[in-house]
Structure 1
């Protein structure tokens, strides 16, 4: 998979924006793991993805209000790597030219690392809690947040934010342990400068 490059990281870090800019700039194919989630959910059986199917069976309050952020972290299917094999299947079906740039929070370092042909093929963007919250506030459409469909939107939003902070901390620890590149995203870099930093990791 020498033609595949990976941008993982926490939610709200700007992965999609950076990946889109790099793909457009270099004529690469872009593969968004977010866009593939619905298809991967349909392709996954209960035996292959028990956490996914348990999540689908929950109502909105059970998903986001009644469980602690710690439980949400440990039981969220994509955070546990369910469906990652389907990402690999999709990539193997693609032509080897042009290069493919894969992006999304589903790219767990310990799952990506064995697929890397060498350094310079993957990077993780790690947003600070403050940056993530600001990013989500700027994206939010009135009445468009799914937490509004719970009985306690404030509680659901808090649980989700803490869960995502915990997930980013896990990514930080895992990339450090595996010696994989990561970039802190705290708002001090413009999108263009962050894109350049990621491109430098890839040797572009």
Structure 2
């Protein structure tokens, strides 16, 4: 997988934006893991992805309102690596003569590391809580999005923000332990600067 570059990280960190920029600049193929979540869910069985299928059976309040952020973190299927093998399957079906930039929160450091041909092929973007809040607010749906379909959207949004903060801190610890590169993304960093930081890590 020498032709694959990975951009993981927390929610709202700018992964999609930077991946699109790099793909356009270098003529790379873009693979957004968010775009294939529905397909991957349909391709799994309860035995292969038990947490995913438990989640699919829940109603909106059970998913986002009734559980603590810590429980949400520990039981969220994509955070546990369920379906990651399907990402790899998809990538292996792509022709290796064109580089691919893969982006998404599903790219867990411990799962990506064994696939790296060497340094300079992966980075994790770690947003500060303030940056994530600004990003989420900027792309909020007029109808309130999926949390608007819960009985308590405010609590649901609070739970998701707290869960995502815990996930970012877990990524920070795991990348440090595995000695993988990260970029902390805060409100002072422009898209241009973040693009150049990632380009530098990739050796472009």
**What is the TM-score normalised by the length of structure 1?**
0.99
| Corresponding position of 1:48 | 48
1:115-137 Cα offsets, whole Å, 9 max, x none, are 00000000000001111011101
Q: 1:8 & 1:142 partners in 2: Cα distance?
A: 27
Q: 2:160 & 2:171 partners in 1: Cα distance?
A: 17
Q: 2:62 & 2:135 partners in 1: Cα distance?
A: 26
1:24-73 Cα offsets, whole Å, 9 max, x none, are 00000000000010000000000000000000000000000000000000
| Corresponding position of 1:195 | 195
Find the residue that maps to 1:112 and give its secondary structure.
Answer: helix
Q: 1:141 & 1:51 partners in 2: Cα distance?
A: 27
CA shift at 1:144, angstroms? 3.6
Aligned-pair RMSD on alpha carbons? Answer: 0.6
Check conservation: 2:126, 2:182, Cα contact below 8 A.
yes
Alignment of 1:21-60 (within 5 A): 21-60=21-60
Q: 1:98 & 1:153 partners in 2: Cα distance?
A: 43
The answer to whether residue 166 in structure 2 is matched with residue 170 in structure 1 is no
1:75-109 Cα offsets, whole Å, 9 max, x none, are 00000000000000000000002101000000000
Check conservation: 2:130, 2:187, Cα contact below 8 A.
no
Find the residue that maps to 2:168 and give its secondary structure.
Answer: helix
Gaps of 5+ in 2: none
Q: 1:4 & 1:202 partners in 2: Cα distance?
A: 11
Find the residue that maps to 1:172 and give its secondary structure.
Answer: helix
**What is the TM-score normalised by the length of structure 2?**
0.99
Aligned residues: 204
Q: 1:160 & 1:22 partners in 2: Cα distance?
A: 29
Find the residue that maps to 2:143 and give its secondary structure.
Answer: coil
Higher deviation after alignment, 115-124 or 187-196: 187-196
